[in-house]
Structure 1
Amino acid sequence: MTNPTLAHGSTLVLATHNAGKLAEFAALMAPFGITVVSAGALNLPEPEETATTFEGNAIIKAQAAARAANLPALADDSGLCVAALGGAPGVYSARWAGPDKDFAGAMARIHEGIGTDDRAAWFTCVLCLALPDGQTWCFEGRVDGQINWPPRGTNGHGYDPVFQPEGETRSFAEMTDEQKNAISHRARAFAAFRAACLA
Structure 2
Amino acid sequence: MTENQKGTVFVVDDDSTLRDMIRMMAESDGYEVRDFIDATSFLEAFNAEQPGCLILDIRMPGMSGLALQDELIKRKALIPIIFITGHGDVEMAVECIQKGALDFLEKPFREAKLLEKIEQAILSDQQSREELAEKSLVQQRLDSLTTRETEIMHFVAQGCANKVIAIDLGIAQGTVEIHRSRVMHKLGVRSVAQLMRLLLVAGLLEDQ
| Same-fold status (TM-score > 0.5) | no
Q: TM-score range by the shorter chain?
A: 0.3 to 0.5
Who wins on radius of gyration, i.e. which is larger? 2
Name the structure where strand makes up a greater proportion of residues: 1
Q: What TM-score, normalized to structure 1?
A: 0.32
Higher RCO, 1 or 2 (CA under 8 Å, sep at least 6)?
A: 1
Name the structure where helix makes up a greater proportion of residues: 2
Q: What TM-score, normalized to structure 2?
A: 0.31
